[in-house]
Amino acid sequence: MEDINIAIKGFLDIEVPPDLDLFAEIDTLKKERNAIVLAHYYQEPDIQDVADYIGDSLGLAQEAAKTTADCIVFAGVHFMAETAKILNPDKKVLLPDLRAGCSLADSAPAAEFRAFRQKYPNHLVISYINCSAEVKALSDIICTSSNAQKIVESVPRDQGIIFAPDRNLGAYLIKRTGRDMVLWNGTCMVHEIFSLEKIMKLKVRHPEAKLIAHPECEEAVLREADYIGSTTGLLKFTQTDPGREFIVATETGILHQMQLASPDKTFIPAPPTNNCACNDCPHMKLNTLEKLYLCMKYEKPELVMDPVIREAARRPIERMLEISAR
């Protein structure tokens, strides 16, 4: 019954008693299952507070690569849990809600990407980690927003490169490295929604505020940014920079750690083009503390992968980890 439920809904639909101390229950389950909870900065604050490790995509992959836990509970999105499974084929990897996808990963369907790649047979393929395992399997090296420049610069200058799937990160890298890369035309629904016009108005009201942006943002926003970096990069910048106010152009989940690390500083989420909470990632936010608890209690839903794709996707991820460690 539960398995049918998961197949249809993607998560366990069981009522959690409202008076249950979920933090204590999750702590007990971690010990019982020898489980580690890995959480991305975009998760809701409660999940971040219960996690053993919080990080950006690179940090999470590195943590997954070295964990000795038997069970990895991934509070993030599907491609991140897949990466953990690829690096740990014999471990159990749980994702609180299997429907937690990614608009950027969805913008590169494997069949279309294979055809695109065939048009450039002599190019090397660097894919941003926000893609499916199938697309990873069609790639030579994976990168994340924190090591993308290093990965691109590790490739000989005369080697043609396809970069996928994020066109904004790709354009930013072309600018930074001077490399003429062929770009796949994908974007993230959260990072392309920021309104430059509203950000500039906000800057008038907060003249001392620094604009900090994730490289998935559009070029017009990046051009005005005082600092551009991955979520870890943005967090570190707010900790070390003497500035007191920051307009943050990325998903709002990161503000939790920024505020914890610098309680006296002010963090303002960059405004989106309309008035909804569009800079909350709807995929990341499918995970809740209740679903995290249920998935640890019942050890479901488990991430299961086709072993052939899993193995083919492993090498480009390992190449990324090797280059990153240099």
- Minimum CB–partner distance for residue 172 and ligand 13P (Å): 13
Residue whose pair of structure tokens reads 């007191």 in the numeric block: 244
Task: Confirm or reject binding of residue 210 to ligand SF4 (CB under 6 A).
Answer: no
CA torsion 181-197-130-289 (nearest 10°) is 170
Please report whether residue 102 would count as binding ligand SF4 according to CB under 6 A.
yes
In whole angstroms, how large is the CA radius of gyration of the chain? 20
Interface with ligand SF4 (CB under 6 A), residue from 63, 251, 256, 300: 251
270 binds ligand SF4 (CB under 6 A): no
- Among 48, 145, 252, 287, the residue binding ligand 13P under the rule CB under 6 A is 145
Query: What b/e string do you get for 298-326 counting C-beta neighbours within 10 Å, with b at 16 or more?
Result: eebbbbebeeebbebbbbbbebbbebbee
Q: How far lies 67's CA from each of 101, 130, 311, in Å?
A: 24, 22, 19
Rounded to an integer, what is the distance from CA 101 to the centroid of its chain? 10
Contacting residue, 103, 132, 287, 288, with ligand SF4 by CB under 6 A: 103
- 35, 50, 77, 98: which one contacts ligand SF4 (CB under 6 A)? 77
Site residues for ligand 13P, window 56-85 (CB under 6 A)? Answer: 56-57
Residue type (1 letter), 268? I
CB under 6 A: which stretch of 1-9, 89-97, 143-151, 201-209 binds ligand 13P?
143-151
Under 8 Å between Cβ of 36 and 310: no
Question: Which among 7-15, 109-117, 144-152, 192-200 is the span making contact with ligand 13P, rule CB under 6 A?
Answer: 144-152
Q: Could you give the 3-state DSSP secondary structure of residue 161?
A: strand
Contact characters 281-320, ligand 13P, x per CB under 6 A: ----------------------------------------
Residue 147 engages ligand 13P in binding (rule: CB under 6 A): no
